[in-house]
Amino acid sequence: MNYLSEMLKLPVVDSAGERIGIVNDLGIATGEVFPHVTSLAFQGPGKTPFMISWRKYVERFDDDGVYLKMPATDIRFSYLQPDEVLLARDIMNKQIVDTQGMKVVRVNDIKLSASGENQLRLLGAEVGVRGLLRTLHPVLERVVVAASRAVGKPLQEDIIAWSYMDLLERSTQTIKLSVSHKTLGELHPADIADIIEQLDPRLRGQVFAQLDTAQAAEAISELDDDELVAEMLEGLSDRDASSMLALMDPDDAAALIDELDYEKAEKLLRLMGVKEERAIRNLLGYEENTAGRIMTSEFVALPATSTVADAIDGLRKLDEDFESVYYVYTTDPAGALTGVLSLRTLIVADHDARLNSLAYRDVVWVSPDEDQEDVAEEMSKYNLAAMPVCDENRHILGIVTVDDAMEVMNEEHQEDLQIAGMAGAEGGSGESMHVFSWFARRQYWLLVWAIASGIIAAVLQMMGGLGSYFIYPMCVMPVSLLAASRVVSYVRNYYLEYDEADDEDKPYLAFFLQTVLVGAVLALVIYLCGQLVLGAAYSDDVLASASAGGWMPAAADPDGAVNALIGAARMLSACFVCAAGVTFVSCALSVIYLKVLFWRDEHDLNTSGIALSVSAVLIACVLYSVVSTLAVSMIAA
Q: Domains in the chain, ordered, with CATH?
A: 4-167 (2.30.30.240), 187-285 (1.25.60.10), 301-414 (3.10.580.10), 442-636 (1.10.357)
The arithmetic mean of pLDDT across residues 234-259, rounded, is 83
Distance between CA 231 and CA 487 in Å, rounded?
40
- Residue 504 pLDDT exceeds 70: no
Distance between CA 222 and CA 403 in Å, rounded?
11
More confident residue, 98 or 430: 98
**170-184, 201-215, 253-267, 497-511: segment of lowest average pLDDT:** 170-184
Provide the 3-class DSSP secondary structure of residue 15: coil
Strands 301-303 and 327-331: parallel
**68-72, 126-130, 503-507, 628-632: segment of lowest average pLDDT:** 503-507
Q: pLDDT tens across 96-121, in order? A: 765 555 566 778 888 887 766 677 88
Ranges of H-type helices in 186-225: 189-198, 201-209, 213-220
Per-residue burial over 573-584, b if 16 or more Cβ lie within 10 Å, else e, is bbbbbbbbbbbb
363 phi, psi to nearest 5 deg = -85, 135
In the chain the first and final C-alpha atoms are separated, in Å, by: 78
pLDDT of residue 176: 34
Amino acid in the structure at residue 136: L
- Give DSSP secondary structure letters for 465-509: S-GGGGHHHHHHHHHHHHHHHHHHHHHHHHHHH----TTSPP-HH
Distance between CA 54 and CA 36 in Å, rounded?
9
pLDDT of residue 341: 94
- Using left for φ > 0, alpha for ψ between -120 and 50, and beta otherwise, residue 499 falls in beta
Per-residue burial over 454-484, b if 16 or more Cβ lie within 10 Å, else e, is eebbebbeebeebeebbbbbbebbebbbebb
**CA torsion through residues 580, 583, 589, 590, sign:** negative
pLDDT of residue 428: 42
Q: Could you tell me what percent of the chain has a pLDDT over 70?
A: 81
- Give DSSP secondary structure letters for 20-89: EEEEEEEEEETTSSSPBEEEEEEE-GGG-EEEEEHHHHEEEEETTEEEESS-GGG-------TTEEEIII
Q: pLDDT tens across 26-47, in order? A: 988 876 666 888 899 998 888 8
pLDDT of residue 304: 94
Ranges of H-type helices in 327-401: 343-348, 355-358, 372-382
Amino acid in the structure at residue 604: D
The arithmetic mean of pLDDT across residues 553-568, rounded, is 67
Q: pLDDT tens across 446-464, in order? A: 888 989 999 999 998 888 7
**39-48, 286-295, 546-555: segment of lowest average pLDDT:** 546-555
The arithmetic mean of pLDDT across residues 476-484, rounded, is 91
Q: Are 69 and 75 in contact (CB under 8 A)?
A: no
Q: Are 618 and 452 in contact (CB under 8 A)?
A: no
pLDDT of residue 13: 92
DSSP 163: G
**378-387, 481-490, 539-548: segment of lowest average pLDDT:** 539-548
